[in-house]
Amino acid sequence: MKKLFCLMLIAAMLLGLLAGCGSNTSNDAGGGSEDGVITIEYWNSAEGAMATSTEYLVKLFNDTVGKEKGIVVNSVFQGGDVMEKLKTLAQANDYGNFPDVGQIYSAGIPTLVTMDPLYTMSEVYDSGKFEITVKQEDIIENFLRTYQYEGELIGMPLNASSMLMYYNKDAAREAGLDPDAPPATIAELAEWTDKLTVRNDDGSIARYGLNIQMDRYELVNFLSGVSDTGCNYIGDNGGGRDGMMTKLTIGEDGSLMTFLNEWEKVIATGGYKAVNDDERGEFANGLSAINFQSSSQLATMFENTEGKFELGVAPLPACSDQYNAGAAVGGGSLCMFDLGSEERLQAAWEFVQFMVSADSQMYLFENNGYLPVCAAAYETDAYAAFIEERPEAAVAVEQLYNSDVGMQEPLDLINWELNTLSKENFISWTNGEISKQECHDNIVDNFNAKLTEYIRANG
Amino acid sequence: MRRKGIARLEPLLYLLPALVFFVLFTYYPFVKTVFNSFFLTNFMGIRKEFVGLENYLRILQDKEFFAAIKNTFIYVLASVPLSVFIALLLALIANKKTRSSPVYETMFALPMAMSSSVCAMIFELMYNPSLGILNEILGTNISWLTDSRYTIYSISFISVWMNIGFNFLFLLAAVRNVPADLLEAADMEGASFFHRTTKIILPIVSPTVFFLIINSLARSMMMSGLVIILTDGGRSGSASTMISYMYTQSVNSQNYNNGYAAAIVAFIITFILMLVSFGFEKKYVHYD
Amino acid sequence: MDTIVRRNSRKKIGGILFQAFAVAVGLLVLFPIIYCCFVSFMKPNQIQSIPPTFFPREWTLENYGTVMETTTIGRFMLNSLIVAGVSSIIRLITASLAAFAFSFYQFKGRDALFMVCLGTVMIPSDVVLVTNYQTISRLHLVNTYVGMTCIFCVAAMNIFMMRQNFLTFSKTLQEAAYVDGCSNIRFFFKILLPTSTPVLTTVFISSFISTWNTYLWPMLVTNDPMMRTVQVGVTMLNNEDSNVYGPIMAASMMVLIPTVALFLIFRKKIVSGIMGGAIKG
């Protein structure tokens, strides 16, 4: 037994030693320049198919532009949200381990701007130190707006998507609806929901006309056009982009109530399911006829419905005739960090430009359904060929061009609260547990109270 | 004299390695958290102003936190006894060695090898009301995870399942250590299976059962992962626990003020519960 | 003679029936894992079809292909093996020494110290995360296996587990050892540990499994794809834009293999008795 114990001890020491060696080599690989080759780190949240695409593009960069200019990009997956990790590092005051480039969602922007090493895109464009091949004007304005904070462009849009309406064309035909004229307003959506709902003999529902859980993402998309000025910022200070958001404006300007008044018609049909059990799976199996998902799920939606029914894709319905249609942009951006080396900043910028070039963006469009962020991509032959093959992909592009630049997800600081409040109150309202007014007040008042609490600690 | 001094220090010397790690990686950060809980801190965890007990008073007035405390106790009551009881049954089944013992012993113990994130995915798929296999098998139509009447029990069931393997392993060994002559004597007297189990086997395996109850108790009181992954706390917080409350407050809402205070309240409640359990140790646990 | 044979064969049939029953119970217990295994061989459109099915209609390795394509799971497994293996061995040392002190010595503050140890179980890991990261980064251990491992080097439940075992150790045997002139540390190595192999094995296995399955900490302290652990690999597959059940179940099955192997290797050692492993005096 003692022998065994000693053996284990020795093994532990050996492994420890091994670990020590391993650590040394990995520290070298961390970044820096050697023999004129600069290694930079790219932290990403790319999961699933996006992970494969990211690896492909990084390798392509290293083999082409990188080889030419002596840059090696080391891509590191950092969990579902790079921001979580950056926050921990910042809290521990460990800026030394920051990456050169990070993939950041728009919700992370208000936190990001408080971090010292951040090197904004505006700084890149204004400094005159960088060789610019991708100009700010080359990027579509809607996407730029997403990552602007107090007038400054924080990150470069990388992967963009918007919400679409997916519907069952076969079901529409059976119900006597024109499958090629999908609902353009909420009122029409209610009509479709009603007609598409199928009930069993005992009155239970065999197929819901519509299945959508009103999370924050869905709510802000539906609300984004409900405004007389063309777009609804949801919160004050331009939805948190001109400064810290301090309250929701959708209560005081009546836009939430306007939307609820329309949505009431959907609930009244009785064929609306407000809970997400597996929206996409149930839709693909004919348990619901209309469903809303991001444009980045286009390929998956086709894969799931293949051989089952004809899938229709349409833009988001407007709240009513008098308001604009359109959708808010979602997705991620590339943000740069200054780690004290001019060379590395230059290298990082080269990589950022590569990622938003027409070719890279077309690659993401074809493989992951992300809308190209640079205007040039839409002029390419590859784009024309892809749209020819999958015309539905053009719906998201059209919707984008029809959307007001101001239609954005707000930088609402405590977005998780809005998500919970919206989801729960819509479910309760649909179930008849609370009234429309209560649903409205619960969302607005509770969120504002939480936001006030947040601002007290962070303002 | 000197020898005696060294002898007194000897046990502390053995404790030293463990204590060093505990102090460095658990108590040092925890004390820092306790200290911070008397301050208003921003989203970067930086102290802004001293507020005394305000953070505690606020969460103790929060209905959601009270619901979380109540839910935590429901989890404990629903999962701790059941996971120990099922494991004991399995151990009794596996007690006798047969040719296929290795097969079913391994089967009974294997649930312990699954990580909670993977378990969450498997059960999410099985619990799915329309596409899941559970409703199909049972012929029911229940929204296991989204109907607030069931959520808490659906989650408890997963944690029971995850704990079975670990508990079984310990109980099997303990049950096999029951001296055969005692059992034979009981058989001679014609004792029933129930009598045999409660009067002879249970007292002998009591140190193991005690350990398992404390272990499951601690795990259930700290339960959060499954709740966060599968339910977001359930409708209106109907399934949230103390720690999932802490998590959503501090990580999702960047409100460390509520989060820190909740963690410390959870610590105090659990600690009291532990002390009470150890009070029972002297009375019901037999070490000889 | 005849009756004995008949009784024997009846006993035999009873035995076989009992074994079949036990295996059936085992299948029931394992149902989620078996289901996970079958799903990992299904095509995505079967996983999402109604009515839900248990057996793959068409066996496919597509999901395993996706796992290999998206992650370098082999390398991840090696990393996890290093982290879990090293920390579990260190845990054996820290826990057995501490449990020895707690169960064989009487000293002032013993019970209080024991509660201090157990108290660590009640502190959620999210609370200590940032400060621990700070400590590790100040020690310049970010991106090292030491940094990944060191917070896993002790677990209160392991100490508790061993204490329970040591407490049942026969007092007479201990006294006999002292009479023979055995010093404390000799007693610990020569007598206590050898008779405690089952509990040592169990501590090793349970801590191996729990460290093998950790996700957040190893990801936090490393920034190198070559140092990622298996659970990070599983997360990489979790993408809301596509059908992920298949690949995730496939990865889970692959991740399960080393733990099952470990279990099978050590099974005999464990079930020969964890608690009360000592020879009754």
Q: Which chain C residues contact residue B161 at CB under 8 A? A: 29, 32
Please give the helix or strand (H or E) that residue C172 lies within, else none. helix C171-179
What would the mean pLDDT of B83-99 be, rounded to a whole number? 90
SS3 A183: coil
| pLDDT of C281 higher than 70 | no
Contact status, residue A434 vs residue A260, Cβ threshold 8 Å: no
Closest chain B residue to A457, measured at CA: B42
Any chains having at least 3 CB pairs less than 8 A from chain A are: B, C
Q: What pLDDT, in 10s, does the model give residues B165-203?
A: 999 988 887 888 777 777 778 777 777 778 878 888 888
The distance of B149 to chain C (nearest Cα, Å) reads 23
What is the token pair recorded at A222? 């539906």
CB atoms near residue A379 (< 10 Å): 11
Q: With bands split at pLDDT 50, 70 and 90, how would you rate the model's confidence at C89? A: very high
CB contact under 8 A, B104 and C98: no
Looking at A199-254, list the stretches that DSSP marks H as alpha helix, in order from N- to C-terminal side: 216-223, 236-240
Q: A37-44 and A71-77 as β-strands: parallel, antiparallel, unpaired?
A: parallel
CB contact under 8 A, A19 and C145: yes
pLDDT at A32: 56
Q: Which chain A residues contact residue B44 at CB under 8 A? A: 87, 90-91, 114
In b/e form, how buried is each residue of A337-361, taking b as 16+ CB within 10 angstroms?
bbbebeebbbbbbbbbbbbbbbebb
Contact status, residue C253 vs residue C67, Cβ threshold 8 Å: no
Q: CATH topology of A37-160+330-389 equal to that of A162-327+406-458?
A: yes
Q: Does C273 touch chain B (CB under 8 A)?
A: yes
Q: Does A92 touch chain B (CB under 8 A)?
A: no
Which residue from A278, A424, A453 is facing B236, i.e. has the nearest CB? A424
The distance of B150 to chain A (nearest Cα, Å) reads 14
- Rounded to whole angstroms, the Cα distance separating C151 from C217 reads 9
Q: Which chain C residues contact residue B10 at CB under 8 A? A: 105, 184
Q: Does A281 touch chain B (CB under 8 A)?
A: yes
CB contact under 8 A, A50 and C90: no
Contact status, residue A231 vs residue A245, Cβ threshold 8 Å: no
Q: What pLDDT, in 10s, does the model give residues B219-246?
A: 899 988 889 888 876 777 788 999 999 9
CB contact under 8 A, B112 and C209: yes
CB contact under 8 A, C134 and A306: no
Q: Could you give the percent of chain B with pLDDT greater than 70?
A: 97
Q: Which chain B residues contact residue C232 at CB under 8 A? A: none
- Rounded to whole angstroms, the Cα distance separating B269 from C123 reads 12
What is the token pair recorded at A67? 């080889």
CB contact under 8 A, C275 and B207: yes
**Phi, psi at residue B232, to the nearest 5°?**
60, 25
pLDDT at A34: 62
Q: Does B126 touch chain A (CB under 8 A)?
A: no
Q: Does B64 touch chain A (CB under 8 A)?
A: no
Contact status, residue B97 vs residue C10, Cβ threshold 8 Å: no
The one-digit pLDDT tens for each residue of chain A (459 residues) are 444 444 454 454 445 444 444 443 333 344 555 678 999 999 999 988 899 999 999 999 999 999 999 999 999 999 889 999 999 999 999 999 999 999 999 999 999 999 999 999 999 999 999 999 999 999 999 999 999 999 999 999 999 999 999 999 999 999 999 999 999 999 999 999 999 999 999 888 999 999 999 999 999 999 999 998 889 999 999 999 999 999 999 999 999 999 999 999 999 999 999 999 889 989 999 999 999 999 999 988 998 898 899 999 999 999 999 898 889 988 899 999 999 999 999 999 999 999 999 999 999 999 999 999 999 999 999 999 999 999 999 999 999 988 999 999 999 999 899 999 999 999 999 999 999 999 999 999 999 999 999 999 887
pLDDT at B225: 86
Which residue from C29, C36, C116 is facing B164, i.e. has the nearest CB? C29
What would the mean pLDDT of C179-204 be, rounded to a whole number? 83
Closest chain C residue to B175, measured at CA: C273
Q: Does B32 touch chain A (CB under 8 A)?
A: no
CB contact under 8 A, C89 and A1: no
The distance of C3 to chain B (nearest Cα, Å) reads 23
| pLDDT of C178 higher than 80 | no
Any chains having at least 3 CB pairs less than 8 A from chain B are: A, C
Which residue from A47, A92, A299 is facing C133, i.e. has the nearest CB? A92
What's the CATH class of domain A37-160+330-389?
Answer: alpha beta
Whole-number average pLDDT of chain B: 88
Return the closest-CA partner of residue A158 out of A347, A324, A427, A354.
A354
Least confidently predicted of A170-179, A382-391, C45-54, C88-97: C45-54
pLDDT at B181: 78
CB contact under 8 A, B130 and C271: no
Q: Which chain B residues contact residue C51 at CB under 8 A? A: 136
CB contact under 8 A, B40 and A453: no
- Rounded to whole angstroms, the Cα distance separating C4 from C22 reads 26
CB contact under 8 A, B42 and A458: yes
Q: Which chain B residues contact residue A455 at CB under 8 A? A: none
pLDDT at C2: 61
Q: Which chain C residues contact residue A97 at CB under 8 A? A: 137, 142-143, 223
What is the token pair recorded at B279? 């009070």
Domains and CATH numbers, chain B: 63-284 (1.10.3720.10)
pTM attached to this predicted model: 0.90
The distance of C74 to chain A (nearest Cα, Å) reads 16
Using a 10 angstrom Cβ sphere, with 0-12 exposed, 13-18 middle and 19 or more buried, the burial of residue A56 is middle
pLDDT at A19: 46
The residue type found at A174 is E
Contact status, residue A75 vs residue A132, Cβ threshold 8 Å: no
pLDDT at C272: 59
Whole-number average pLDDT of chain C: 86
Q: Which chain A residues contact residue C149 at CB under 8 A? A: 19
- Rounded to whole angstroms, the Cα distance separating B60 from C275 reads 42
The distance of B148 to chain C (nearest Cα, Å) reads 23
- How many Cβ pairs closer than 8 A exist between chain B and C? 266
CB contact under 8 A, B15 and C206: no
CB contact under 8 A, C126 and B267: no
Which residue from C102, C127, C209 is facing B113, i.e. has the nearest CB? C209
Q: Which chain B residues contact residue C32 at CB under 8 A? A: 111, 114, 119, 122-123, 126, 161
ipTM greater than 0.90, yes or no? Answer: no
Closest chain A residue to C223, measured at CA: A76
Which residue from A91, A277, A416 is facing B130, i.e. has the nearest CB? A277
Q: At what angle do helices B151-176 and B202-221 cross, to 10 degrees?
A: 150
CB atoms near residue C50 (< 10 Å): 14
Contact status, residue B246 vs residue C124, Cβ threshold 8 Å: yes
Q: What pLDDT, in 10s, does the model give residues B28-54?
A: 999 999 999 999 998 888 898 999 999
CA-only gyration radius of chain A, Å? 25
Which residue from B102, B130, B177 is facing C275, i.e. has the nearest CB? B177
- Alpha carbons within 13 angstroms on the beta-carbon side of residue A431 total 12
pLDDT at A33: 59
CB contact under 8 A, B128 and A424: no
The residue type found at A317 is P
According to DSSP, the residues that pair with A205 across neighbouring strands are: A199
Q: Which fold has domain A162-327+406-458?
A: D-Maltodextrin-Binding Protein; domain 2 (3.40.190)
Domain C63-271 has CATH 3.50.50.60: no
Please give the helix or strand (H or E) that residue A152 lies within, else none. strand A152-153
Q: CB within 8 A of C5, min separation 6: which ones?
A: none
Closest chain B residue to A110, measured at CA: B43
